[in-house]
Structure 1
Amino acid sequence: MRPWWAVVVGLWVSTRHFFVNLGRFLRGSQDFTVYFPEQRFVHPPAIRGMPVLVQMENGKERCVACGLCEWACPTTCITIFPAETNDEVERYPEIFDIDMSRCMFCGYCEEACPEEAIVMSRQVEISSYSRSGSMWHKQDLLVPVSELKTRIDYLRSNYER
């Protein structure tokens, strides 16, 4: 292949994209650009944002500290220590930490949880100025079940598949 031919092909691709975009502009079609933060992108229900813990209506977490989410996590960013309790039926985590600097938002923890206690929220803006700010503890992760209704309904609709 001749060197000048690569330049011609590159110019042809750029020219074609220019005229396609010019045609869209003249027809008045909508932009693909979202001007963040003035405009917010509407996320689909299947988005996998930050993993959070479901807090029931009575104020307790739904988690029973079984450790399946910790075991399923490929980056080992979840740390769980179950609390000592006299009740044999109900357990709860004393420590539940997620290191968001290691989390890759794969959703394996959500799939592994038998209690629907950890779900992927719609929260995607989790930046911090320090490494210690990326460690989220149980109190930071608790979200009321009413705020997670759309995600839980989406998960339940996938159970039938």
Structure 2
Amino acid sequence: MILQGIEETEGETDILGYLFGLMLIYGKWEAKSKELNSIKIQIPLSGQHLVHEEDFDIIIKILQDKGIFLKADKLPNKNGITYQISSNDYELLEIFAQWYEAVEKFEKISKRVFTEEMKTKLIEFINTNAEIPQEGKAEVVKQLEE
């Protein structure tokens, strides 16, 4: 598994690789002091290339269905649209940072630390709060620990 929800199958890794390629060509790393916070990709589509808008919609939907947090916006301009993709999904950022490491090394993925801390606190709260019903508690904790 590359990241949660994405298996190392040809199709799924191809989609991630394609998105990474778009990031390199049309994207921007949102980083501060070697800490990667998010990515933003702005793809200009005009004329005959406007037909690719639906292809990008499909790719985004596939990745969102796999649990990757991506946002897509279509910004109109005088020649067509700018298809904008952004994400601060720490799992995706870790993969992209790993692939980009030969060029630049990011020392920290900010959302990962925060998410892991919140997950630990939530599990502790669920396990210690007497007001939470026992029914289904084990399944919820198990899901959070994955």
TM-score, structure 2 as length reference = 0.30
| Higher RCO, Cα 8 Å, sep 6+ | 1
Which protein has the bigger helix share? 2
Instruction: Report which of the two structures shows the higher radius of gyration computed on alpha carbons.
Output: 1
